[in-house]
Structures are given as structure tokens and as C-alpha cells.
A and B are shown apart, each in its own frame.
Chain A
């Protein structure tokens, strides 16, 4: 069974601070995705990383896929209250239809 472990589970920081959340697995995935979920809504895709070692940037968010394609990280620079939410990583295999989600990191950014 493929599992994705996310850490930390919960993070509360002040506005302006930097943070990194991690997504780890013992399995190799063909790609990894990061989603953000707000209360009462479904997850919204932020990024897909496909190549081992790949780094993608989305404004203040930097995503990295591990060289072995088993892990990923999300780094947020100068966090803002609007970044508050549940961040989920998800792994896909070749064929791409069965998505395995981690349990998520709940981020709270205080003004």
C-alpha cells in the first residue's frame, strides 16, 4: 500500500515568517501534486511536479520534488493570513487516475 506522510500536521506562525512542509513516502510516484483546501470546499490544485529534482515556483510558494521521486516539499516565504488552509500532497502513478493523498498540514497564519 502506498502512503504519503506529511509533516508537520499543524503549524501556527506569525505573518511574515517562512515555513516548509514535507511530504514523504517509501514509494516512488510518477508525479506529486500539492493542493490547498479551505473549510467547506474541495481541494484546489496548486502544482504538479513530474521530474525528480524539479523545482517550481508559484509567487511566494516553492515546490520541490525529491530526486528519487519519493518526497516533496512546499516552502512559503513571508506567509500571509490568506495562506491559511489545509495543504495536501498527493501522489499519482502511471495512468494517473488513482490519487493517493496525505493527511495534510493545517497552516494558520496570524496577522
Chain B
């Protein structure tokens, strides 16, 4: 079956611009997570959705970052007024439910480069 997909795979943008990153989770997965992975680091938790609602957005670095999941499936991570420090790989993951025994399945990520 289809795994988690993310689009675009690469995004280059100029400082100050707005970007949207899309995540299509595995069908039927109610939980969806966004992470950011900088070079040489592990993934850093950003936000988690259970259904349509953001259950925990404590990892979002500031108010330039926002994520939605309006129908409980596809999610979009939105970054306003991008800065060079936002450059990273943004990973999305989904799972059947919430608990440490529900495996998170990761997408391949979107590599964002802010010039």
C-alpha cells in the first residue's frame, strides 16, 4: 500500500517568502506528526494532530509556523516570512493511533532551502 507522501520533495525559496509543505498520511491513520531535521541532527518534534485538531503544537518554534489538517487526513505546514534558519528537512509521520505501541511511519521529507 501507499506510504506517507510529502510534496514538494525540494523547495527553494527566498528569505521573507511564504511556503506551504504538504503531507498525505497513510489512509486510516488518525494521528499525524510534523518534525524538522537539521543537518547532523535527529528529527525535532513540531506538532501533532489527532484527527483534525492540533493536540500538541508545543514544538513550533514561533508564530511564523502554522499547521492545519482540516479534514483529518492531508496536512499542510505553513511557514511565513521564511528565514535562512528555517532551512531543514521537514518530515511528516502518521500512525494508527497514539501510544508508544503504534508505529509512526515517516514520509521522505521536504528539503526546504531558504536563500
Contacts and interface: CB of A to CB of B under 8 A. Distances in A.
A10 B102 CA distance: 30
A41 B35 CA distance: 13
B42 A102 contact: yes
A92 B4 contact: no
Nearest to A50: B100
A105 to B, nearest CB: 10
Interface string A85-111: 000101010011111111110000000
Contacts of B107: 42
Interface string B69-113: 000000000000000000000010100001111111111110000
B99 A96 contact: yes
Contacts of A31: 100
A45 interface: yes
B42 A104 contact: yes
Interface in A36-54: 40-45, 48, 50
Contact of A45 (B44, B45, B104): B104
Contacts, number: 67
B40 interface: yes
B interface, how many residues as a size bin?
A: 20 to 34
A49 to B, nearest CB: 10
A30 interface: yes
A30 B100 contact: yes
A40 B108 contact: yes
B98 to A, nearest CB: 5
20 contacts: A33-B100, A40-B108, A41-B108, A42-B91, A42-B105, A43-B43, A43-B106, A45-B103, A48-B103, A50-B100, A50-B101, A88-B43, A95-B98, A96-B99, A96-B100, A97-B48, A98-B58, A99-B33, A100-B45, A102-B42
